Amino acid sequence: MSKRECQPCTACCDGWVQITVKGCEAYPGHPCPHSTGKGCDDYENRPVSPCREFECAWVRPGSFLPEDFRPNECGALVIDHILKWQGLVVDLAVPVGREIPEKTLQWLMQHAEQTMRPLIYQMQDPEADVLEKNPLTLAYGPPAFQEWVLEQQAQGVKLW
C-alpha cells in the first residue's frame, strides 16, 4: 500500500476536530485561521502540536480504514485508539459536516463489532441553526461501555 496523503482533505484543520493552533481555537464551524480549505497558508511554520503530530486513522500507515474513507470523502474523521476501556481500544469518529453519513457510520459500527473496539462518535443537532462547538457525543459498543461514556460526560470528564 502506498503512503496516503492528506491533501486535498483539510478536515482536521477545518475545525471538525477541536484543536488550538498558535493560540487560535478551531472547532466545528470555526476553522483554523491558517486553513485555506485546500491546505495551510503557513505550512512550513506549522507547530509540532497539533499540526505535525496529528494523523487521522485514514492516513496512518497500515490503516484499517478503506481507501475511500478519506475524511472529506466519507464524511467522518476517525481517530483510532483515543483511549482504552476495560482493556479494549476505543476509536473516535467525528462528522465532517453535521453528521456522519449513514453508510459510513454503519461501516464503522460493523468494524467496532468485528474487532471488539468500541466507538465514540459525534453528531451535530440537526435542529440547530449553527454548528455546536461541543456536538452530541454517542457511544457504540457494550451497554456497560455506553453507560460509562454517559457517566464520564455527566461528570464533565474530557474523554480525549
Does any domain span residue 38? yes
pLDDT at 105: 98
Is residue 1 assigned to a domain? no
pLDDT of residue 1: 53
pTM for the structure as a whole: 0.91
Q: Is residue 132 part of a domain?
A: yes
Q: Is the residue at 8 inside a domain?
A: no
- How many domains in the chain? 1
Question: One-letter amino acid identity for 25?
Answer: E
Confidence of residue 27 (pLDDT cuts 50, 70, 90): very high
Q: Is residue 113 part of a domain?
A: yes
Phi-psi region of 90 (alpha: psi -120 to 50; beta: other; left: phi over 0): beta
State how far the alpha carbon of 11 is from the alpha carbons of 15, 20, 57, 141, 151, in Å: 7, 14, 12, 26, 29
Q: 94: domain range?
A: 19-154
Residue 7 has pLDDT above 90, yes or no: no
**Would residue 71 count as lying in a domain?**
yes
Whether residue 116 is contained in a domain is answered as: yes
Residue 46 lies in a domain: yes
pLDDT more than 70, % of the chain: 99
pLDDT in tens, 54-98: 999 999 999 999 999 999 999 999 999 999 999 999 999 999 999
